[in-house]
Amino acid sequence: MASNVIALIPHFDEVVLTDNNKLAARVAIPQTGDGFSSYMRGRLAEDLPLYVQRLDTHCAVSQHLAAVSALDRCYGASPPEKAVRIRRALAYAGVYYHHLEQLFLSRPSGDVGIAGLVTTDETLAPTDIFETLGRARDVIDILGGRGITPECGIAGGVTKGPTDDELPRAKDISSHLLEFALQAEKGFRGSGAIWVTEHDLSVPAYSLGTVNDVAEASLYDGALRIVDPEGTETAVGGTKEILPILLAWKEDLPLRVGPLARLNVGSGASTPQAKALQKYLFDALGEPPIDRVAAGHWAMVIELVESAELLVSALTTLETGDSVINSALNDPCEGIAAIEGASGTLLHHYVIDEQGIVQEARIVSPESLRATEVNAALSSAISDGASGVTEGVIEQIVSVIGSYQPAYVPSAAFPLRITLHDKGGKVAKEWRRP
Amino acid sequence: MSNKKTLAFYAASGCGGCSQSLMLSPSLAAMLEGVDIAFWATQGADLTSDDISGFDDKGIDVLIYAGPLHDESSIDTAKLLRRKAKRIVSYGACAHLGGLCGLTNVYPGAQLRALSKTDGEGFVQPLSAVIDVDYILPGCPPPEAMVTRMVEELFLSDDVPEIGTVFASSKGVCAECGREHVRNPLTAIRRFHTDPPDPSVCLIDQGYICLGPVTRGGCEAVCLRSNRPCTGCAGPVAGVLDQGGAILHALASLVSFSGDGNEEKEHQVLDSIPDVVGTAYKYSAASSLLKKRVNDGK
């Protein structure tokens, strides 16, 4: 089974354009399955949360928590409720941090500049953005033990709880984060929403996300759900039910994950203010399922508010204290876990031997799942091959990739190559972003 | 003409943590006020070798370089950047030590090439293996206190830091830890996930492997505050060449059983250290004396 699981080091990739009378393009995602597993084989199981979050620190909290959940399953661990609440609060802080960074600081590509759009609201100064991002990092530091790359996750619990000094500070910060998110959403609606409605590239796609007990979008855990482009449920369940479907997913079937997919798979946002704000999106673009690519930015802004509301609420349930661990662990074995990561559904699959040493470590990341949708978007956008490979074609490709950029996390950190092939298959041109 | 310093930030590749740590520094705003940005490679405009070549030699006052070197292209770029910059800061564990990517050096070539972060030959090197480095800011990612110190000394002070300055403590993490020493002999290696430690007592004294004694401080022992051991991301303390060798030597010196004829027991304890390379050389494999695994033909 292990060898069939898609694995990905989220290293953004290559766009290949083939000049074959009709132009076509695709995002190439490495899915050998062996690279990361080879790297991790022989490493300590308890170090997995440390390694995986450094694959991509923009999503560090999500990766960390997915690793911890998978280790829980490997060891048959039952974390105390107190630890579960800390992890959940940390997850919401991680989503907030990720979204804020992606919306405001990710490098815009092509004509996409969400940061510029939002900051047309003069009340949001760049210094406010940096300060707020720093505060979100502080909450991760308090809950996770270290900002940017948390340390607290362990099979069976967390190694750290907030102290008497830290918890009130986290609550204060979370109120600020919510206030800032509401301000950002208001600013976005004033300008960014117009931009979204003007960018009409649509990709009908299946959507994958996580829903809570009442079928609302979840930003951490719950049931995995897939709906078709019309919004009809095609699958629901845990990793046992959903993973085989994802492994057998056909490349030509667009699959959407991330903020817009989360709106599509359930009955919408789970918190009062986010519920109210999503109505503006629905008024502009219609009820879900929404297939407008640029709407992903808008959904992310709504989730900025939702994650802050969830964080505020989650912090009220926390208690102070040291580590919270149920160390009654079984002998390690195989474990698979899924969490709803900031940029989309994230699955980790580990095989641990009896000495607690990693034998297999595979990740199904949002980036690998999303590739099918990006490819469909590229096919829609690039259809005219009459002029061959031109600067205009490159701009089209960059623009499509840019449309996904806020949710396409590793593209901000890793090189992007666009390789243009002529009809004979030779490389005609290469464009590279460091 | 501006008399501000010219600053450039270049990330060879990596996870993005270094860029975030710099952008989130409370001293960032003060730093930016005093500099002109030449380029910010992960967040700024597209940057090619031609773009870099367009700068005058030594035309960039300070270049902050993050990420590991892993192929000819990254080595060439590093050399080009060296020509263009008066001062270069090796920023973060990957540039400083090779970082977690350095562990790929212990795999045979075929497996290396399967790792998407290490294309080409896949031999990871720290920046200092290829060019002269003026300053080092350690950490994975660098902690806030160290970033602030770098900004203050490099950009907000009238004095220029001495070449070779490491913006961290010269002492070990232990100096900042605050846990009680009970001086127990090491008679067994414990794993913290199956056997949680006492949060008030030195981890090594309890039998856990912690790289605090051999790792540069300046991080305020952040991992230990979370009841996790130091994993060595800031690299070896001043005067230590091989971080992994130093911790293994330290552990060996602590293994002790009372009475005679216990050499076998002592060997058993040392042999029980799991994942020696991943534990002792987690971030420093590429800069260690081990260098890389040689294919032994088996």
Residues B148 and B180 in one domain: no
Residues of B within 8 A of A148 (CB-CB) are 17, 20-21, 24, 141
Radius of gyration of chain A from its Cα atoms, rounded to whole angstroms: 21
Report the DSSP pairing between strands A416-421 and A14-20.
parallel
Order of strands, edge to edge, in the sheet holding A14-20?
A22-28, A14-20, A416-421, A427-433
pLDDT (0 to 100) of residue A317: 93
Residues of B within 8 A of A71 (CB-CB) are 193
pLDDT band at A386 (very low <50, low <70, confident <90, very high): low
Could you tell me which chain B residue has the CA closest to the CA of A134? B24
Q: Give the amino acid at A98.
A: H
Residue A39 lies in a domain: yes
Worst-scoring range by mean pLDDT, A208-217, A389-398, B4-13, B93-102?
Answer: A389-398
Residues B238 and B132 in one domain: no
| pLDDT higher than 80, residue A113 | no
- Any idea of the CA torsion for B235, B238, B240, B246, to the nearest 10 degrees? -60
Residues B151 and B206 in one domain: no
Worst-scoring range by mean pLDDT, A337-346, A394-403, B236-245?
Answer: A394-403
Residue B292 lies in a domain: no
Residue B169 lies in a domain: no
Q: What is the DSSP letter of B161?
A: P
Residue B283 lies in a domain: yes
Tell me how far apart the alpha carbons of residues A282 and A263 are, in angstroms, rounded to a whole number.
Answer: 10
Residues B13 and B117 in one domain: yes
Could you tell me which chain A residue has the CA closest to the CA of B42? A413
CA A103 to chain centre: 13
| pLDDT higher than 80, residue A357 | yes
| pLDDT higher than 80, residue A282 | yes
**A148 touches B: beta carbon within 8 Å:** yes
CA B197 to chain centre: 26
Lookup result for tokens 């130091």: B230
Residues of B within 8 A of A28 (CB-CB) are none
Which residue of B104, B141, B278 is in closest CB contact with A57?
B141
Residue A33 lies in a domain: yes
Residue A434 lies in a domain: no
**How far lies B59's CA from each of A161, B79, B129, in Å?**
49, 15, 23
Residue A150 structure tokens:
């948390």
Radius of gyration of chain B from its Cα atoms, rounded to whole angstroms: 21
Residue A433 lies in a domain: no
Could you tell me which chain A residue has the CA closest to the CA of B108? A38
**A56 touches B: beta carbon within 8 Å:** yes
**A168 touches B: beta carbon within 8 Å:** no
Residue A431 lies in a domain: no
Which residue of B103, B222, B282 is in closest CB contact with A39?
B103
Residues B27 and B151 in one domain: yes
3-state secondary structure of B106: helix
Residues B15 and B143 in one domain: yes
Tell me how far apart the alpha carbons of residues A268 and B164 are, in angstroms, rounded to a whole number.
Answer: 55
CA A106 to chain centre: 14
Residues of chain B with pLDDT under 70: 1-2, 14, 42-46, 107-122, 291-298
**Side-chain half-sphere of A231: how many Cα atoms within 13 Å?**
12
Residues of A within 8 A of B104 (CB-CB) are 39
Question: In 3D, which of B127, B110, B119 has the Cα closest to residue B293?
Answer: B110
Peptide bond into A10 cis (omega under 30): no
Residues facing residue B85 across a β-bridge: B60
| pLDDT higher than 90, residue A308 | yes
CB-count burial class (<10 Å; 0-12, 13-18, 19+) for A74 = buried
pLDDT band at A181 (very low <50, low <70, confident <90, very high): very high
Tell me how far apart the alpha carbons of residues A241 and A236 are, in angstroms, rounded to a whole number.
Answer: 7
Domain that holds residue A44: 2-424
Report the DSSP pairing between strands A157-158 and A22-28.
unpaired
Q: What is the DSSP letter of B185?
A: -
Q: Do residue B144 and residue A322 have CB atoms under 8 angstroms apart?
A: no
Which residue of B111, B194, B226 is in closest CB contact with A38?
B111
Contact at 8 Å (CB) between B9 and B89?
Answer: no
Tell me how far apart the alpha carbons of residues A196 and A55 are, in angstroms, rounded to a whole number.
Answer: 31
Residues of B within 8 A of A52 (CB-CB) are none
Residue A432 lies in a domain: no
Determine the straight-line distance between the first and last CA of chain B, rounded to whole angstroms: 64
Contact at 8 Å (CB) between A103 and A227?
Answer: no
Domain that holds residue B198: 174-287
Residues of B within 8 A of A144 (CB-CB) are 226
Residue A227 lies in a domain: yes
Residues B11 and B105 in one domain: yes
Mean pLDDT of A198-208: 90
Q: At what angle do helices A126-144 and A166-198 cross, to 10 degrees?
A: 130
Tell me how far apart the alpha carbons of residues A382 and B293 are, in angstroms, rounded to a whole number.
Answer: 46
Could you tell me which chain B residue has the CA closest to the CA of A327? B194
CA A195 to chain centre: 23
**Side-chain half-sphere of A343: how many Cα atoms within 13 Å?**
29
Tell me how far apart the alpha carbons of residues B217 and B168 are, in angstroms, rounded to a whole number.
Answer: 6
Q: How many CB pairs under 8 A join A and B?
A: 154
Residues B9 and B148 in one domain: yes
Could you tell me which chain B residue has the CA closest to the CA of A53? B15
| pLDDT higher than 50, residue A344 | yes
pLDDT (0 to 100) of residue A112: 33
Contact at 8 Å (CB) between A389 and A428?
Answer: yes
Mean pLDDT of A256-282: 96
Residue B274 structure tokens:
């799991």
Contact at 8 Å (CB) between A265 and A211?
Answer: yes
Mean pLDDT of A62-78: 96
Please report, for the domain that includes residue A109, its CATH number. Answer: 1.10.645.10
Residue B294 lies in a domain: no
Contact at 8 Å (CB) between A177 and A308?
Answer: yes
Residue B72 lies in a domain: yes
Which positions ≥6 away from A23 have C-beta within 8 Å?
A17, A382, A383, A384, A385, A389, A393
Q: Do residue B225 and residue A44 have CB atoms under 8 angstroms apart?
A: no
Which positions ≥6 away from A390 have C-beta within 8 Å?
none
Residue A55 structure tokens:
């694959």
Residues B140 and B11 in one domain: yes
| Domain count along chain B | 2
Residue B120 lies in a domain: yes
pLDDT (0 to 100) of residue A416: 53
Residue A430 lies in a domain: no
Contact at 8 Å (CB) between A404 and A27?
Answer: no
Residues B116 and B198 in one domain: no
Residue B197 structure tokens:
């430690």
Mean pLDDT of A266-292: 95
Residue B166 lies in a domain: no
Contact at 8 Å (CB) between A20 and A26?
Answer: no
Boundary (domain end) residue, out of B156, B189, B221: B156
Mean pLDDT of A76-105: 93
Boundary (domain end) residue, out of B98, B122, B156: B156
CA distance A231 to chain B (A): 35
Residue B164 lies in a domain: no
**How far lies B76's CA from each of A271, B71, B79, B169, in Å?**
51, 9, 5, 32
Worst-scoring range by mean pLDDT, A63-77, A144-158, A414-428?
Answer: A414-428
SS (H, E, C) chain A: CHHHCCCCCCCCCEEEEEEECEEEEEEECCCCCCHHHHHHCCCEHHHHHHHHHCCCHHHHHHHHHHHHHHHHHHHCCCCCHHHHHHHHHHHHHHHHHHHHHHHHCCCCCCCCCHHHHHCCCCCCCHHHHHHHHHHHHHHHHHHHCCCCCCCCEECCEECCCCCCCHHHHHHHHHHHHHHHHHHHHHHHHHHHHHHHHHCCCECCCEEEEEECCCCCECCCCCEEEEECCCCCEEEEECHHHHHHHHHCCCCCCCEECCHHHHHHHCCCCCCHHHHHHHHHHHHHHCCCCCCECCHHHHHHHHHHHHHHHHHHHHHCCCCCCCCEECCCCCCCCEEEEEEEECCEEEEEEEEECCCCEEEEEEEECHHHHHHHHHHHHHHHHCCCCCCCCCHHHHHHHHHHHHHHHHHCHHHHCCCEEEEEECCCCCEEEEEEEC
Q: What is the pLDDT of residues B213-231, one digit of tens each?
A: 999 999 999 999 999 999 9
Residue A207 structure tokens:
């959507």
| Domain count along chain A | 1
Boundary (domain end) residue, out of B103, B125, B156: B156
- Kindly write down the DSSP assignment for every residue of B31-96, as one continuous string: HHHTEEEEEETTTSS---HHHHHTSPTT-EEEEEEES-B-SHHHHHHHHHHHHHEEEEEEEHHHHH
